[in-house]
Amino acid sequence: MRSLDKYLGNGVMAACVCVFSLASACSSAYRGAAEVDPSEVPRGRLVSTFARTSCTGNHADAATVFVDFVEGADGMPFIVERSRPDTWLLITNSRSRDDFIVFQAVRNTDAREFREYRFPAHGTKPGQYFWSSQYTEPRGSKHRFETQPVGQTTTCQLVPVDPLTGATLTTYGASPTPTGSASARGWGFDGKSFQVGDKVLVDVGGRSVPAEVLQAPGDAYYVRLEGEAEAGQWIDPSRITGRMD
């Protein structure tokens, strides 16, 4: 996992997701976040990926929930929670607090909820996730604010994982290990060869399987394989064997 130290002590924040030209962002039920289609996630550099595990209060996710920490094109961070195939949660309200980078979002509809994602800027501890159905009145502007949970709060760990395989990383500073190398496989594609929406062929156990590119941050691809029920997976560019017309 790459260090997050650079985001400490520099007035870390992210403006309204409307600056990312997402039409649905301002009408989202969330404050500090927006529900978006996977193909609408802004371009940026994938810094680290976390898996949500070890939740309290008998809270358990039906499938593994991944959270991507991304540095946007403007240098400001945002995170993406990938829990459903068709809709992801893009969270932009962030600030530095002690040795952590903290993201918060609230939902003001009838199904009220508070979400906080807390990432250590350095060290060896996992991050933390907090959820509650009640929260204090947010302090600050519409898009940059701070609040606190009230009453019973669910807590989970955010464990750093390899974005390509989902395998747990045991030490910070470890770089994701690609499943192959372009030079070794000889295909020659890199992280900038394809764009969101492109149809490609992906090597899966020696077979070339059709897939659609959902994210192309510049160093890896998030693709949905043909016939895949889940949202998709991060792959190294070396696994792409060709382009489909």
pLDDT of 178 reads: 39
Alpha-carbon span 157 to 50, nearest angstrom: 9
pLDDT of 188 reads: 62
Question: Which residue do the tokens 């496989």 mark?
Answer: 185
Hey, what CATH topology would domain 5-161 get?
Answer: Lipocalin (2.40.128)
Residue type, 107: R
Query: Which of 161, 173, 182 has its CA nearest to residue 233?
Result: 161
The domain 182-243 having CATH identifier 2.30.30.140: the answer here is yes
* pLDDT > 50? residue 237: yes
- pTM, two decimals, is 0.78
The DSSP symbol for 168 reads B
Residue 98: partners with Cβ closer than 8 Å, 6 or more residues away = none
CA R_g for the chain:
18
Given a contact cutoff of 8 angstroms between Cβ atoms, the answer to whether 87 and 178 are in contact is no
Q: Where are the domains of the chain?
A: 5-161, 182-243
Q: How many CB atoms lie within 10 A of CB 135?
A: 21
The DSSP symbol for 200 reads E
pLDDT tens digits for range 45-104: 888 999 999 998 777 777 889 999 999 888 899 999 998 888 899 999 999 988 899 999
pLDDT tens digits for range 118-140: 999 886 679 999 999 999 999 99
Alpha-carbon span 16 to 115, nearest angstrom: 17
Q: Which of 174-178, 185-189, 209-213, 224-228 has the highest mean pLDDT?
A: 209-213
* pLDDT > 80? residue 23: no
CA 74, 75, 80: angle at the middle one, nearest 5?
A: 95
